[in-house]
Each structure stands twice: as structure tokens, then as C-alpha cells.
A and B are shown apart, each in its own frame.
Chain A
Amino acid sequence: MGDPINLISQWFNNLLLGWGLAEGLVKVISLAIGAAIVATLGLVTVIALIWVERKIAGRLQDRPGPNRAGPFGLFQPFADMIKIFTKEITTPDGADKVAFNIAPILAMASVLMIWAVVPFAGTVVGANINVGVLYIVAVGSFGIVAVLMAGWSSNNKFALLGAFRAVAQMVSYEVPMVIALLVPVLLARSMGMNDIVAAQTPWFIIIAPLAALIFLITSMAEVGRAPFDLLEAESEIVAGFHTEYSGMGFGMFYVSEFLHVWTVGALIATFFFGGWSGPGAENFPILGILYFYMKTFIGYFLVTWIRLSLPRIRIDQMLAFNWKFLTPLSLVVLIVTAVVDKALEMAGVERWAYALIMLAANLLIGWIVVLILKAVEPNRKRQRVEFEHRPVAVAPKSTDS
């Protein structure tokens, strides 16, 4: 009664076995169906998200948002979908056709694949592997490859420039992101996603708030959303690496971005907000799924809110913020977490005292950082960006950015 999902899968397995199929084949079929359901669920979520996001954006900007198609504009994403499915896909002159067409598929797959290891509830988890956290990082690198392929194969200046910016941003922010991920791994003593969820008493947002903050910021940069959307800055490089894509080719990049934001919400929920855990979730996995989705939505809303509130940053600010602030900070947080954790373990303190001291250590780091920033900021020379004068109609010899 408490676990209908595993009950259904067991019933299904028995049904197939009853038909006289081999055991190995039954396993493959049921796993494949599970994978298809999880992946489809991700895409269906995106349809809902497109409406939710436009509604949130509308409300935050003091306008109603979509409200014509259906009640509350609920049918808007379906209208969009029908439109984009019937649009022509063009391939630009001189493009590398194979790479050009594979890139959007790879971009989408790289985001979808993360969902293979996300635990929805205690017993509802696709693959409970012992290297879950590194798997997520590994899958993300296919997204980088997809962006490079798209930018290079388009045979377009803006696309190539956008790809360079995108990859520089993605690889740069991967460093503090992975180091921030080391903190929950260290606290849980495991890279398995379900182990990390199980270890969260109390939630890691209390024990490691700075790591959570760094993870949130770097994830937003990985997705490439405002304020980190300089890789598709319309006023500078048209649309970045997907300038030449039309119809569903562009649609895949668009959908993968939406799904990526939702995935970021899911990862923040899993790593720092206790994942599926909550009152009664142990016995009733359905409740766990509900908690998981609620927490995921909080993370998603946070990212969307920040996106709609902040202006775009420049590329030099983007890189300096990462390498001169986030990376050293994340390393310091990791060192302090490791040392304090070991010291408390040797002192043998209670769990609540442990959590409080960890929180205090994090707040102390945060306070010192604020002090340092206050001391440095007034003395820092403002960087002036100056351009040589050049005639408008003549092509520049070199573009440097």
C-alpha cells in the first residue's frame, strides 16, 4: 500500500515472466520502460514550466503574463509546441551538417541524463550508483561538447564567439561547483545520491549554507541564465551559439535550458534540502515524491526570481567573480568544513551541537569575506574599457572578446 510504484513494477515484471520471457530480457524491458517514463516526465514538466515561468515573469514585471489561450493561458505552451513543430528547420550555407544536427540532441540528452540518478523517494530511484555526484559532473561535460559543436558547425561568427564565451563560462564555473559539491559528499561520506539524502539530519543547508550558496550561483552560470546570460547577449552576439538554429533545432536548446533550471532545483533539493525526506516519507514514498517536487520548485523559483531581477554581467566580471572570488572561497569552505568536521568528530559532540558549530563556522567565513570585500572594494581601481576609434563600414581586422 505504501509503495505503489515498486508494486506496479513488480506486478509488471511478473506479468512479463508469466508470458514466458527470459529473466534477463524482462529486466532490460522494465528498466527501459522506467527510463522512458522518467525522461518523458522531465519533458512533460518542461511544458508546465514554460507556462509557470512566463506567469512568474509576468507577475514580477507587473503584467498578467499569458492569459488568452485557455483558462489563465494554460494552453499557451501547447500552442507554442504546435507552432514550433510545424516550423521549417534550415541549415545555413557551409555548415557542417552532421555536427549541426547532432548538437541540439546532445544538449538535450546531457540534461536529461542527470535524471537517471536523482532519487524521487527512498525506494523510487533510477540508478543508485556509488559515484552519483561525479556522474552528474560527468554528464554535464557533454553539454559543453554540444555547445562547442553547435557554435563551430554553424559557420557563423556570432555562433563561434558565443560558443567560446559559453564554454569559458561553463568550464570556469565548474571548478567552484565541483568543490562546493565536495562539501555534501564529505558530510555524507558518500557520493551516492540516496546516501546524501539519508545523511541529512539536519538538512545540509544548515550545516553548509555557504556551499549551498556557491552551488546555486555556479549552477545558474552553468545553465547560462541571467545574470550569466552573456553567452547569448542579444545586443552583442545575436543569440550566441544557437544563432543559426531555427524551429525545433532551437527548440531543443530552449527546452534543455528550461529542464536544466528545473534540474538545478532538483539537485539543490537533493544535496542541501534533504531531498525526498520529510514527515512520513520513509513509509509512504508517494509523500517523498511530493516533498521532493515541492523542494525542487523552491529551488526553481529562486533561480527564476534571480534571473528576472538582475542585469547581465560583463565577461571580465564573470571571469573575475569566478576565479578571484568563488574559487578561493569554495576552497576555504572545503578546508574549514573538513578540519572542523574532524575536530568535532574527535571531540565526540552531539549532532545538534555539531550542526550549530558548523553553522557558526560558515557564518564566520561569510563575515570575514564581507570584511575583506569592504576593505578591498574602495581601493580597487575601476576598470575602464576603452575602444580604439574605428570607421563603421569597414570590417575590423580582429575582434577581441
Chain B
Amino acid sequence: MSGVEIIFIIVAIVTLLAALFVVTTPNLVHAALWLILALFGVAATFVLLNATFLAVVQVVVYIGAIAVLMIFAIMLTRRVMEDSGPQINSNWILAALLGLVLFVGLTFVLINSGAANASLSDLVVDPVEQLGKELVSPNAYVIPFELASVLLLAAMIGSIVIAWKK
């Protein structure tokens, strides 16, 4: 085994364990903190795949913004130091089924696309620059790029309409 493989296995185990604790711990804030560790593990996996831009974006957006927002929401609405109710509600079978379908589907796609056998070679072009060019190129992703900003605008308006009642 190479060094990268050993690191990958450690990262994967930590990530999965953290994800497991997210759903098993009764304390909501603890669950959010475990979620942060799991998200960090995903960022580390991105680094091992040489997708460094995605790795930092993962940390900036998911840990820096979304996880913080979650903890904020928990703290705003719950009596903080108390453990909350049962972890399982009546929909757990449906959720487990959906999770299984998603897992099988992703595995299937991954194996069929041949990505599982791809080797990690050093990239010739700067992927960030490539991404920047593609995002605003009319032959590539300019429509999704502008739509993303419209979507973000809609999200902002929506959140203000729902959360902000004068």
C-alpha cells in the first residue's frame, strides 16, 4: 500500500464514523459538530483526488456557512444543554430505503462510468483557471452560471419572506 492509500483509508474511516455519530447521538449540537468532522473528511478526500478547489470550497461553504447556520438554527430554537427526543420517527423505513437506493445508484454509475479505474495523474492545466473559463464560456456553462445567481437571488428573497416577519 502506498502512503496515499493509507491516508485515504484513515480519512474514509474517520468520515464514515463521524457520519454515523451524526445520526446516533441524541444531542443535536453534538450531531452538528460530528457533521462538521464528516464534512471535513470529505474535503480531505477531495484533496486526495487532487480536486483542491473543491476541497477548500467544501470547507468554506459547508463548514463555514451551512454547518454554522445549522448550529445557529439549533441554538435559536432549542433549549441548548438538553438532549432532544428519540432519533427515529415513523418515516425511518422510507429514509433507509431512499439511502440504500442512492447508494446503489451511485455505485452503479461509478462502476459503469469507468471512473473507479481512473488513475490519479498530475493535471497539466490549472483546473481552477479551466473552471473559470468554462463557467463564463457561451459554449459551456454560462447559462447555468447566470441561473445560479438567479437561484441564489430567489433563495435570498425566499428566506427573507419566510424568516423575516415585521
Binding site for B on A (CB under 8 A): 24, 28, 94, 96, 99, 129-131, 134-135, 137-142, 144-145, 148-149, 152, 155, 160, 164, 167, 171, 174, 191
CB within 8 A of B67: which of A28, A130, A145? A145
B151 to chain A, nearest CB (A): 18
Most chain B beta-carbon contacts within 10 A, residue among A129, A134, A140, A149: A134
The CA of A350 and the CA of B116, in the complex, are separated in Å by 50
A137 surroundings in chain B (CB, below 8 A): 56, 60, 64
The CA of A124 and the CA of B42, in the complex, are separated in Å by 30
Indicate if the CB atoms of A138 and B64 lie closer than 8 Å.
Answer: yes
Check if B145 is an interface residue, CB within 8 A of chain A: no
Indicate if the CB atoms of A134 and B53 lie closer than 8 Å.
Answer: yes
Indicate if the CB atoms of A141 and B68 lie closer than 8 Å.
Answer: yes
Check if B105 is an interface residue, CB within 8 A of chain A: no
Q: 9 tightest A-B contacts by CB?
A: A141-B64, A138-B59, A134-B56, A138-B56, A138-B60, A131-B56, A141-B63, A131-B52, A135-B56
Closest chain B residue, CB of each to CB of A178:
B60
Mask: chain B, 15-41; 1 = CB below 8 Å from A; 0 = not: 000000000000001100100100000
CB within 8 A of B59: which of A24, A141, A191? A141
A-B residue pairs in contact (CB < 8 Å), sample of 15: A96-B30, A130-B126, A131-B55, A134-B53, A134-B56, A137-B56, A137-B64, A138-B60, A139-B59, A141-B59, A141-B64, A141-B65, A145-B63, A145-B68, A160-B80
A142 surroundings in chain B (CB, below 8 A): 63
CB within 8 A of A134: which of B36, B60, B67? B60
Indicate if the CB atoms of B64 and A140 lie closer than 8 Å.
Answer: yes
Check if B57 is an interface residue, CB within 8 A of chain A: yes
Indicate if the CB atoms of B75 and A152 lie closer than 8 Å.
Answer: yes
Give the interface SS of chain B, mostly helix, strand, loop or mixed.
helix
B64 to chain A, nearest CB (A): 3
The CA of A148 and the CA of B80, in the complex, are separated in Å by 12
Closest chain A residue, CB of each to CB of B3:
A24
Mask: chain B, 41-62; 1 = CB below 8 Å from A; 0 = not: 0000000000011011101100
A160 surroundings in chain B (CB, below 8 A): 75, 80
Indicate if the CB atoms of A94 and B56 lie closer than 8 Å.
Answer: no
Check if B148 is an interface residue, CB within 8 A of chain A: no
- State which residues 128-145 of B face A: CB under 8 Å: 128
A171 surroundings in chain B (CB, below 8 A): 64-65, 68
Indicate if the CB atoms of A149 and B33 lie closer than 8 Å.
Answer: yes
Check A144/B68 contact, CB under 8 A, given A134-B57, A152-B80, A155-B81: yes
Mask: chain B, 64-102; 1 = CB below 8 Å from A; 0 = not: 110110011001000011000000000000000000000
Most chain B beta-carbon contacts within 10 A, residue among A138, A152, A164: A138
Indicate if the CB atoms of B63 and A164 lie closer than 8 Å.
Answer: no
The CA of A167 and the CA of B70, in the complex, are separated in Å by 13
The CA of A57 and the CA of B59, in the complex, are separated in Å by 37
A155 surroundings in chain B (CB, below 8 A): 81
B155 to chain A, nearest CB (A): 15
The CA of A289 and the CA of B57, in the complex, are separated in Å by 30
A189 to chain B, nearest CB (A): 8
Indicate if the CB atoms of B52 and A129 lie closer than 8 Å.
Answer: yes
A23 to chain B, nearest CB (A): 11
A138 surroundings in chain B (CB, below 8 A): 56, 59-60, 63-64
B126 surroundings in chain A (CB, below 8 A): 130
Indicate if the CB atoms of A94 and B64 lie closer than 8 Å.
Answer: no
Closest chain B residue, CB of each to CB of A94:
B81
The CA of A24 and the CA of B36, in the complex, are separated in Å by 31
